[in-house]
Amino acid sequence: MTRMPCYASIWIGLLMDSASNSSLGQPTLPLRELYVPAVLELLLIGASDLQAEGVVHSSMSEDMISALLNQHMRAARMANNASDILSWFMRASTPADAEGTSNFAEPDFLFTWGPYPSREDPSLFVEAKRLRGVGPSLAGDYVDKGVMRFVEGSYGRGHDYGIMMGYVVVAPKSIAISRVSVAMNSRRGKVQEFSAFVPNNSLCASPDTHHSTHLQQVTIQPITLVHIFVDFS
């Protein structure tokens, strides 16, 4: 049995020409129903394999963790004979300002896919931040330097979905997540909250998954962020 059922379903759906019958996200960038769960699935499989390796430590940088996660995701895709319909770039430069002329930002991952009839750029941005359950929480940076990238339109401008990933490097994970909740609630105005940060695993099987929705400053359109958290402690 494949470890990547969403990924496999996309391919089957394309072969049967049924994947276009439903989509997520209206009206700005409709995503076919399984693409967001497939990305979440791949991120969590790669993270699980990296977690089992036991090489991540509390002082490891976010960039190094992402580089290791990238390796494990590619290995998982190859091991599951998954097609290249879903591809991604690590640390891909993207304009951080509305005009695209200065201040380039780099999301941890930028997912794209091939045979995809979209009106705009077919991409899904993933930003990752380190978190701690004890000591300095880093939850403020998670919001100010992570979530705000989507709110300001640096990432996913005009898109309906984005992904935030919390690398929990010091346990307990539950406290690290609660600290994110506190940081989000204390910045409701700043993050232009449309729907609060709450548990929601409708797109992802992980019980720790949360959703929040924000009005983007550039587009004044809502973008839903799917927050996933991985315990690397």
Closest residue by Cα to residue 110 from 131, 97, 129, 94:
94
How many residues comprise the chain? 233
- pLDDT at residue number 101: 40
Burial class of residue 221 in the structure, from the number of CB atoms within 10 Å of its CB (0-12 exposed, 13-18 middle, 19+ buried): middle
- pLDDT at residue number 27: 45
Burial class of residue 101 in the structure, from the number of CB atoms within 10 Å of its CB (0-12 exposed, 13-18 middle, 19+ buried): exposed
The DSSP letter of residue 135 is S
* Residue 7 confidence (pLDDT) above 70: no
- If one counts every other C-beta atom within 10 angstroms of the C-beta of residue 68, the result is 19
pLDDT tens string 36-52: 888 999 999 999 999 99
- pLDDT at residue number 118: 45
Q: Which is higher by pLDDT, 117 or 84?
A: 84
Among left, alpha and beta (phi > 0; psi -120 to 50; other), residue 180 is alpha
- pLDDT at residue number 103: 55
Query: By the 8 A CB rule, do 108 and 127 touch?
Result: yes
pLDDT tens string 64-89: 999 999 999 999 988 877 666 678 88
Residue 48 backbone dihedrals phi, psi, to 5 degrees: -65, -40
* CA 116 to the chain's CA centroid: 19
Instruction: Return the beta strands (E) in the chain as ranges.
Output: 23-24, 31-32, 86-90, 94-95, 104-105, 109-113, 123-132, 161-170, 193-199, 210-215, 222-231
pLDDT tens string 17-37: 444 444 555 444 455 567 888
Closest residue by Cα to residue 190 from 145, 151, 150, 230:
151
Separation CA 82–CA 108 (nearest Å): 22
Average pLDDT over residues 216-233: 94
Q: What percent of the chain has pLDDT over 70?
A: 74
- pLDDT at residue number 228: 98
Average pLDDT over residues 86-94: 75
pLDDT tens string 134-184: 999 999 999 999 999 999 999 988 888 999 999 999 999 999 999 999 999
In sequence order, the 6+-apart residues with CB closer than 8 A to the CB of 151 are 190, 191, 192, 214, 215, 216, 217, 223
pLDDT bin (cut points 50, 70, 90) of residue 91 is confident
